[in-house]
Chain A
Amino acid sequence: MRANRLLKSLGTAGRWVALGGFLAWSIFPLYLVVASSFKPARDIFEVPPRLIFQPTLENYVRLWNDWPVFFDGLINSLIVTLGATLLTVVASALAGWVFSRFSSRFLTLSAFSMIVLRLLPPIVITLPLFPLVNYVGLNDTHLILILLYATFFISLGSWIMKASFDQIPRELEEAGAVDGASFAGILRHISMPLGIPGMIAAGVFVFIFAWNEYLFAFIFTTTAAKTAPVVLSEIMGSATGVDWGVLFAAATIQLVPIVAVLILAQRYLIEGLTSGSVKG
């Protein structure tokens, strides 16, 4: 009996050790980035990393002085991210509502083709788009990134929205029709407000994606619309040698807001993931 108890508490201890290991694996690299950004250059490579140190802002000051383009990149990232999120949410909400409320051969085909197209590797379409985008003058604009990011998340977004509208009883809309509301009025005042949780879920995915995206931004922007991840990669590959302090300061600024968004919107993320991929 005592041996049994011992075995059991050993098992519990083992579980916590394993869980602690997983947590360290998940968080430690992030801690390292953030903590190093506040360390003086000579302490950054110290092993083992010092847990208590005199924090300094000198890396951030150097980033501000040496890489003003990074802050332009942040503004570009913000514009592109907000634009792409808005466009995705609007287009997905409308399409998702239709997929939920109507059925026809055309709609099924449209929904199915969206699934198929979501599976194509994005790099494939950069080839023909690159000359075309240059030709129509969309190269290095916020708009081209907004359009591309939205395109690749409309499929997931529409599925999340369909699942979300499927939960909302049609009777609410029918009651509106009985009260004499117009079609647009029903959509605006009844259906769409009820779909807001779904819209947040659809929005979170594209928001995180757009804030972090590298490939499209790398190919389609050069100066005016260059986003923060691209500038970050340029700091990393800087010809004058890597200034780790500056790099960590930039990485921290790029990283912390989006991690905060993830934590705040976690519930929606989990819901969206289950309705968007497992059910749909």
Chain B
Amino acid sequence: MRRLSAIPFLLTSPANVLTGVFIVIPAIYVLVLSFSASSYGTAPTFVGLANYATLLSDPYFWRASWNTFIVVNAVVYIELALALGLTVLLMSTRHFRRTIITLLLLPYAVSEVVGVLMVKFMFDPGVGMASRALTSLGLPEIAWTTQPNQALALVILLSVWHHVPFTFLIVYTARLSLPGELYEAARVDGANAWRRFTNVTFPLLLPAVLIALLFRYIFAFRIFVEVWLLTRGGPARQTEVLAVYLYKSAFSYDDFGLAAATAWAMVILSLLIATPYLRLMYKRMFVDAR
């Protein structure tokens, strides 16, 4: 295989060129931009850390960070709880399993735009189905057009709806691969369903659960479309998440420097979230590889 040494390089080049041109170089250029003052169409001038200083002193940035923190954590853990519940339910069901799984997966194929459309329709103030259901139960309807926290609650609801299939599939396929004898043994020992879950299922599923959590953390952190189409970050910029804050800095307020600083803050946070996964992969690929 020695004489073929050019081939691996050649065959991986489409993949490497694409990631290089569209991710690596832009990401580095964003870093440069973050140390400059620039707007669309003007040449950047070096300003040192001024953009980062502006960013950290901007209350809207902190609001966006806090919103992102709340939304991401809520989404990720609600999804996990639902996915675990579904897995346990499905394991104890013998009938129609394949059909049920198919139906549970459907939200995965739905675009975020259609998702927002459904939420806007069902929670339309006064006339939406969910709004009327809430009022008929004597509850206040969700005032997502005026109350930032309630708007974010709808964002969480929609995001959970979209992504439960992903978390569920990872947890469920991991559960399928657990040996049945373990449960026989637990049953013989007299463990009830709850004990079987906490003492057998959950610890064994933990690796898959951690992977699902990590991936969902990383992807939930990007959240943009739901917020953008539902509220545009309003009222009064109170529902912005980091991606919306970045977008507005660049394309509404024409401050590319500030947006670039936000971008690098997001890059660093993403990598921090991903550190456990990256360390695992690094170890597997570089250290364990023979």
Which A residues are within 8 Å of any B CB, using their own CB?
Answer: 15-16, 18-19, 22-23, 25-27, 29-30, 32-33, 36, 45, 47-49, 90-92, 94-95, 97-99, 102-104, 106-108, 110-117, 119-132, 147-148, 150-151, 154-155, 158, 183, 208, 211-215, 219, 229, 232-233, 236-237, 244, 247-248, 251, 254-255, 258-259, 261-263, 266, 269-270, 273-274, 277-278, 280
* Contact A23 B109, beta carbon cutoff 8 Å: no
Of the listed stretches B45-53, B59-67, B143-151, B265-273, name the one at the interface; the rest are far from the partner chain: B265-273
Of the candidates A15, A91, A108, A120, the one having the most CB atoms from chain B within 10 angstroms of its own CB is: A120
Q: Are B111 and A23 within 8 A (Cβ)?
A: no
Q: How far is the CA of A111 from the CA of B11 in the complex (A)?
A: 13
**A contact patch SS:** helix
What string of 1s and 0s marks CB contacts (under 8 Å) between B118-160 and chain A? Answer: 1011101001110011000000000000000000000000000
Given A22-B104, A214-B225, A229-B111, 12 more contacts at CB 8 Å? A15-B92, A106-B8, A125-B26, A127-B30, A131-B40, A132-B26, A247-B117, A258-B111, A259-B106, A261-B109, A263-B102, A270-B173
Task: Pick from A30, A148, A263: contact of B110, CB below 8 A.
Answer: A30
Chain B contacts to A: CB under 8 angstroms: 1, 4, 7-9, 11-12, 14-16, 18-19, 22-27, 29-30, 33, 40-41, 82, 85-86, 89-90, 92-93, 100-114, 116-118, 120-122, 124, 127-129, 132-133, 161, 164, 166, 169-170, 173-174, 208, 211, 215, 218, 221-222, 224-225, 229, 243, 246-247, 250-251, 256, 259-260, 263-264, 266-267, 270-271, 274, 278, 281-282, 285-286, 289
A263 to B122, CA, bound (A): 26
Q: Considering residues B25, B108, B286, which has the most beta carbons from chain A within 10 angstroms of its beta carbon? A: B108
Closest to B38 in A: A131
Report the minimal beta-carbon distance from B265 to chain A, rounded to whole angstroms: 10
Interface of B is mostly: helix
Do residues B109 and A236 form an inter-chain contact, with CB atoms below 8 A? no
Identify which of B107, B111, B222, B243 gathers the most chain A CB atoms within 10 Å of its CB.
B111
Q: Are B218 and A119 in contact (CB under 8 A)?
A: yes
Chain B positions within 8 Å of A91 at CB level: 14-15, 18
**Across the interface, do B174 and A278 meet the contact criterion of CB distance under 8 Å?**
yes
List A contacts of B121 (CB < 8 A).
32, 36, 244
B104 lies within 8 A of A112 (CB): no
Given contacts A23-B104, A278-B211, contact A124 B89 (CB under 8 A): no
Q: In the complex, what's the smallest C-beta–C-beta distance from A218 to chain B, in angstroms?
A: 8
Contact check, A266 vs B105: say whether CB atoms are below 8 A apart: yes
> Chain A residues with Cβ under 8 A from B124's Cβ?
45
Which residues on the B side are within 8 Å of A147 (C-beta)? 18, 22
Task: Name B24's closest neighbour in chain A (CB-CB).
Answer: A117
In the bound complex, how far is the Cα of B101 from the Cα of A262, in angstroms? 12
Contact A259 B109 (CB under 8 A): yes
Q: Would you list the 9 A-B pairs with minimal beta carbon distance, nearest first?
A: A212-B111, A262-B109, A91-B14, A125-B26, A95-B15, A128-B29, A124-B263, A94-B11, A151-B22
Minimum CB–CB distance from B168 to chain A (whole Å) comes to 9
Q: Which residues of A contact B250 (CB under 8 A)?
A: 126-127, 130
**Chain A nearest CB: distance from B155 CB in Å?**
15
Give the Cβ gap from A164 to chain B, nearest Cβ, in Å: 15
Q: A108-B289, A124-B263, A128-B26 are in contact. Are A98 and B92 (CB under 8 A)?
A: no
